[in-house]
Structure 1
Amino acid sequence: MIAMKLFASKLPQALWLLLLQLWLIPGLSGCSSAPPEPPEGFELNWQGQTVPGEVFLIPTAPQSLAYRLEAIDQATEFIDITYFTWNHDVSGIYVYHALLQAAQRGVKVRVLLDDLLVFNDRWLKDLDQHPNMDIRIFNPFDVRHTGWFTRAFNFQFRKKALNHRMHQKYFNVDGELLIIGGRNIGDDYFGLSDSANFFDLDLLVRGESLRQFEANFELFWRHEESVPVDQVLSGEPSEQQSLFLEDFQEMKDEHPDVVRAIAEVRAALPEPDYISALVTPAFDDMEKFEDSLPYFRRRIEQFLLTYPTQHKELLISTPYMIPNGDEFTATQAFLENGADVILLTNSAASNDSGFVAAYYDKYRKPLLEMGVDIYEYDSEAVHPPYLHQATTYYHNKAFVIDDWLSYIGSSNFDPRSDHLNFEMGMMIESQEFAEALSEYLLLSQLDNFWHVTLDEEGNPQWEKGQVIEHTNPRTAPIRALPAWFYRLFNIQHDI
């Protein structure tokens, strides 16, 4: 049982970033826009398709990149990919280059990218010219130049449509191997960034559940908002991907330490040790585009309502702990049953969203008073497999119930995930896997968390080793000012 085992930048720059973030958030006309109320009986008839499968939790961030590259190199028929972000760094170009090589030997490659962080990317134009590579942009903005300034205005005029983003992470090779989880593509997701990294997770999946994931991919791939990249980006591609290949060589020359680390991990990559389990995929509905209703969340809840658990232990892992109107209903139900409830989330210092950190500050003490056992991730966490020990953010999206039923997926189960983003995930029935996931998230990482409890006066305190703090660890007192400013707008349902 788990319970038993157990402001730095220049001011003008910071102000500009703050104003830009505020401009990009809907509902800032004075109060929060409450999410739409689902109709009576919403999704009560949804039934997941539970099938046998094999799952493997990838042990380290560098190995997550290595397994992707190995899978691409072994592909013979097709590769289908969906991601929210894909960075312009060593990892990003390495995966693109591997895909180009696969296309050159006849593999059909399809890539669907959300448009939030895509501007006028010449890599995409170059790669899309290959006859075996097809790249599409999901829900594209109308502007591509001058960066965030004009895009922010575009967002405000079309926010009802543009606020819906593709947040799914999907990597399917030949219909034989699937990678899902919370990671996007970039050095910071694979422990290779020298400035900041994410502590995240990925799952290898084999078996008939891949047919369900493929059907979901086809729905989004053929949707009218999935637009061919040559209709979105301006400019002409280079001949035979010459600009892309030139960038690839320059990136390798400029970052020999990262190139060497990638090669070393691949050379020592073990065969996956799969665990047999019953698995139930779940996906958002395309109707979310029109009605912004929480299809994915309700489908997971419906599965849990009909699943025979004892409700004795709940481990929740989310980077963004923001209640969604119903406050702590689900957590309270476990606690009333006498369950041990453990929450893993970001500390104020490790949170990559100032808005979320500000609102979570309001809920920490009520959660502790309810009896939730809270562990907050340390921004100076150490992960030996990472190439660089830099500032680290917590990004795992998972839960474990009664050491048997697990969830892994893209959803943070926050207001944005519920009502605006398109999400996917998988329920996994296996004691062996549940224990492996609990070990990965917490039991092997205790030194990387602050344990938060109530002191003698009933106020939160943070303990890590011999250190005890009575305010948010590793944060400057000035942080209280922007946190107060964020809360002033009452926008927790829109972040």
Structure 2
Amino acid sequence: MVVPFHLPPVGAIAHSRSFLARVLLMLLLATWAAGCASVPAQQPRPASHAWAEPQATALGRLVDSRHAQARTRSDSAFTLLDSVDAAFASRVALADAAQRTLDLQYYAIHADASTEVLLEHVRAAARRGVRVRVLLDDFNTVGEDAQVLRLAFEPGVELRLFNPLAGSRKSLVGRIFGSLHEVDRIQKRMHNKQFIADNAWGITGGRNLGDAYFGGDDKSTFVDLDVLAAGPIVRQMSASFDRYWNDELAYPVQALLSADEVERLRAGGEKPRPPVTGAAAPSSAPADPGAAASVALRPAAVLPNVTPTAVVSAQRPPLDLAKVPLTWAPAALLADEPGKIGPGDDEANAGETVVDGLLQLMQGARRDLLVISPYFVPGAEMMRVFAELRQRGVAVRVLTNSLASNDAPAAHAGYRRYRRELLAMGVELHEMRSDPQGADLSGGGRGGSGVGLGSAAGGSKSGTSRASLHSKAVVIDRRLAVIGSMNLDLRSQRKNSEIALLVRSPAIAEAAARLIEASFARNAYRVELAGDGLRWRAPPGADYPDTSGEPEADFKRRFLVDLVAPFAPDAML
């Protein structure tokens, strides 16, 4: 999630016209700041870098072998991971096949059943001698999720927290209040997502690590999209990881917490779990990357408070990296510099950002622009780009969350400010429903594929949960596809750090476009102007009706958005 908290940020109140709000804010800050803790000074720590000879590993040799078979001049390859099984199994396959290095960079890693299984594969890699580095943004390492920090005390694993916050880790609210004297720094988060093995294969996209991203959450299911990459482009991904890992804002967990403190964060005692034997246990030997990696229940050794669920315990489809369909194409990495999150002026720190690069690419569109962004708050600069494209006759179509499906209602408050103007200039707006049935991006209900693996949604609990769009992608003229962690909003542009892959491939672009258009046709309303109001049109043949109000949104959500809207500036949404 890009917006770190769902209520209006305190900083937003400071920009309102309410004198009383400003006075109250100053009093609160003065009271809290007096007892606020601070992050310790950064201590010297060893720099480290990606494995320099990926061709010397089994994963590197597999890339060379597949490239020779493809007989193409393009030396990097890609496949879309458009289902929860594809996304989960690909990460397990990379962890199992790694021989030298495993690098993980995430905004959030949640302590739940799917993470327990995945991190056990990561820990198994460390046990067989793989150097494991985990770089995690510090905002969400609270409550149960603080259990993930135990990984830092495993042999062979290094874990650093980026832009750490002071204060209690018992609750997110407590951490926010404990850091209000640094409210600007709270807003700047490392939102990058990467999973890289041996500097030869890597994954980036919208997914964090947790049940909601892999079909195992009973409250919400994120509809998401990743891309699996192989070849020299992965070296660019690793170089970006190294810049963050060695940055002064990356703190070793041991500099912030002791092992005893991490243990005390565990809530309650250990829960009983079924025994795991035989093929389900992780191997101590490196896997052959050409052999299928089977995803099954692993022993609970990383997150002892997490009880496996039926969803994660079930056998997931295997993944064979030697048989994954690959598209070879020219590509480039779009990556923000870690200084974007540093102290001081946002624009001066940010420089040329991922979203800035996207805007430049969009301006080159000649026929068609497709955008999928869960949190869509365009801002003035993006609106100018859209207006110029429409004047040239370029079709602009956007898929974003409806109010009912948005997990961050404050972001919807920013989006709705631009909705009528976007529609008036001819931008086509589609809002995804919260009904999880058929809401995945795989183009085939619960199991189709783009260029990706096409595996089914693997026993997801989505039938009882709320679907929320979380994919981030831009497709230009059906020939360029950009898939990454960024949203099209001012927070991604100026505050959070982001990363994305730009792939120049009609095949990948067409596959991504089909995924987006399938959502248009199956599980999204088209928003239209209707006199002084708006009308939400259901797709032809849909079993849900048109409506003249925010569809499926209850009173609580509508009220919250109305409450936030007058106070929250776009840059904070």
Closer/same/farther in 2, CA of residues 418 and 346 from structure 1, 3 Å limit: same
Match of 2:49 in 1: none
Structural mapping, 1:42-441, within 5 Å: 52-119=75-142, 123-236=147-260, 245=300, 251=306, 254-260=308-314, 263-266=315-318, 271-288=323-340, 289=342, 290-293=344-347, 294=350, 295-296=352-353, 297-302=355-360, 309=364, 311-326=366-381, 328-383=383-438, 384=446, 385-386=456-457, 387-388=460-461, 389=463, 390-441=465-516
SS in 2 for 1:416: helix
Closer/same/farther in 2, CA of residues 249 and 113 from structure 1, 3 Å limit: closer
Within 2, Cα distance between the matches of 1:268 and 1:251? 29
Give, as a single letter, the amino acid of the residue that structure 1 aligns with 2:141: V
Within 1, Cα distance between the matches of 2:371 and 2:302? 41
Give, as a single letter, the amino acid of the residue that structure 1 aligns with 2:335: F
- Which deviations, in whole Å up to 9, do the C-alpha atoms of 1:4-63 show, x marking residues without a partner? xxxxxxxxxxxxxxxx8547442421429xxxxxxxxxxxxxxxxxx7521100131222
Contact 1:312 1:334 in 2 (8 A): no
Give, as a single letter, the amino acid of the residue that structure 2 aligns with 1:195: K
Deviation of 1:479 after TM superposition, in Å, equals: 3.9
Unaligned runs of 5+ in 1: 1-19, 33-50
Superposition RMSD in Å: 2.6
1:492 aligns with 2:492: no
Give, as a single letter, the amino acid of the residue that structure 1 aligns with 2:549: T
**TM-score normalised by L of structure 1:** 0.84
Stretch of structure 1 that moved more, 102-111 or 407-416:
407-416
Within 2, Cα distance between the matches of 1:271 and 1:454? 48
Q: How many residues align?
A: 449
Within 2, Cα distance between the matches of 1:425 and 1:268? 25
Closer/same/farther in 2, CA of residues 147 and 251 from structure 1, 3 Å limit: closer
SS in 2 for 1:474: coil
Give, as a single letter, the amino acid of the residue that structure 1 aligns with 2:116: I
Closer/same/farther in 2, CA of residues 423 and 326 from structure 1, 3 Å limit: same
Stretch of structure 1 that moved more, 288-297 or 72-81:
288-297
- Which deviations, in whole Å up to 9, do the C-alpha atoms of 1:378-424 show, x marking residues without a partner? 10032424312221001111111111111111110211111111111
Residue number among 544, 556, 561 corresponding to 1:483 in the alignment: 561
Match of 1:35 in 2: none
Match of 2:281 in 1: none
Deviation of 1:231 after TM superposition, in Å, equals: 1.6
- Which deviations, in whole Å up to 9, do the C-alpha atoms of 1:208-251 show, x marking residues without a partner? 1122211111111011111111122244277xxx9894575774
Contact 2:135 2:162 in 1 (8 A): yes
Within 1, Cα distance between the matches of 2:415 and 2:365? 29
Residue number among 459, 463, 467 corresponding to 2:533 in the alignment: 459
Within 1, Cα distance between the matches of 2:512 and 2:177? 42
Contact 1:374 1:452 in 2 (8 A): yes
Closer/same/farther in 2, CA of residues 122 and 368 from structure 1, 3 Å limit: closer
**TM-score normalised by L of structure 2:** 0.73
Stretch of structure 1 that moved more, 125-134 or 326-335:
125-134
- Which deviations, in whole Å up to 9, do the C-alpha atoms of 1:270-307 show, x marking residues without a partner? 932111111111111233224312431223334556xx
SS in 1 for 2:546: strand
Deviation of 1:255 after TM superposition, in Å, equals: 1.5
Stretch of structure 1 that moved more, 168-177 or 290-299:
290-299
Stretch of structure 1 that moved more, 295-304 or 426-435:
295-304
Within 2, Cα distance between the matches of 1:411 and 1:276? 24
SS in 2 for 1:80: strand
Within 2, Cα distance between the matches of 1:354 and 1:148? 18
SS in 1 for 2:482: strand
Deviation of 1:472 after TM superposition, in Å, equals: 0.9
Deviation of 1:458 after TM superposition, in Å, equals: 5.4
Closer/same/farther in 2, CA of residues 327 and 433 from structure 1, 3 Å limit: closer
Deviation of 1:168 after TM superposition, in Å, equals: 0.2
Contact 1:24 1:152 in 2 (8 A): no
Tell me the percent identity: 28
Contact 1:66 1:269 in 2 (8 A): no
Deviation of 1:257 after TM superposition, in Å, equals: 3.6
Closer/same/farther in 2, CA of residues 285 and 264 from structure 1, 3 Å limit: closer
Contact 2:216 2:312 in 1 (8 A): yes
Unaligned runs of 5+ in 2: 18-73, 264-268, 271-298, 439-445, 447-455
Deviation of 1:148 after TM superposition, in Å, equals: 2.8
SS in 2 for 1:344: strand
Give, as a single letter, the amino acid of the residue that structure 2 aligns with 1:394: L
Stretch of structure 1 that moved more, 288-297 or 375-384:
288-297
Contact 1:345 1:377 in 2 (8 A): yes
Give, as a single letter, the amino acid of the residue that structure 2 aligns with 1:58: L
Give, as a single letter, the amino acid of the residue that structure 2 aligns with 1:57: L
Within 1, Cα distance between the matches of 2:519 and 2:170? 45
Within 2, Cα distance between the matches of 1:251 and 1:148? 19
Give, as a single letter, the amino acid of the residue that structure 2 aligns with 1:334: L
Within 1, Cα distance between the matches of 2:569 and 2:471? 24
Within 2, Cα distance between the matches of 1:187 and 1:117? 15
Within 2, Cα distance between the matches of 1:326 and 1:117? 31
Within 2, Cα distance between the matches of 1:266 and 1:450? 35
Contact 1:56 1:203 in 2 (8 A): yes
Closer/same/farther in 2, CA of residues 405 and 145 from structure 1, 3 Å limit: closer
Within 2, Cα distance between the matches of 1:366 and 1:58? 34
Deviation of 1:95 after TM superposition, in Å, equals: 1.4
- Which deviations, in whole Å up to 9, do the C-alpha atoms of 1:414-461 show, x marking residues without a partner? 111111111111211111111100112222662111122233x35321
Deviation of 1:199 after TM superposition, in Å, equals: 0.5
SS in 2 for 1:158: helix
1:447 aligns with 2:432: no
Contact 2:76 2:329 in 1 (8 A): yes
Within 1, Cα distance between the matches of 2:300 and 2:243? 32
Match of 2:549 in 1: 471
Give, as a single letter, the amino acid of the residue that structure 2 aligns with 1:381: P
SS in 2 for 1:112: strand
Within 1, Cα distance between the matches of 2:432 and 2:185? 34
Contact 1:125 1:233 in 2 (8 A): no
Closer/same/farther in 2, CA of residues 458 and 151 from structure 1, 3 Å limit: same
Match of 1:3 in 2: none
